[in-house]
Amino acid sequence: MKRYSLLICLCIPVICVSQTLKPGETLIEHTKDFELTGNGKAAEWSATTWITLPHRDGAKKYETRAKLLYSTTGIYGLFFVKIL
């Protein structure tokens, strides 16, 4: 009897859910509320990656990146801009 119950447990399918993003879409991670210090060193920022924003036409060349998180009470944004 034990041998059959083990076989039944091994035959239960595992369902994996994956989220496929379309081109131009970005997944924004959920976070708990945290204190904003202005220097971007809060540990919560390590849960997400930088989003590179494309350069728009203009006289100055610059690099712009952003990190975004959301919580149950709001949206958090961390921005980096460098004039080249």
pLDDT reported for residue 19:
64
Residue found under tokens 């091994």: 10
- Give the length of the chain: 84
1, 10, 29, 71 from 65: Cα distances, Å: 60, 46, 16, 21
Per-residue pLDDT for 22 more than 90? no
Domain boundaries, the chain: 21-83
Q: pTM for the whole thing? A: 0.69
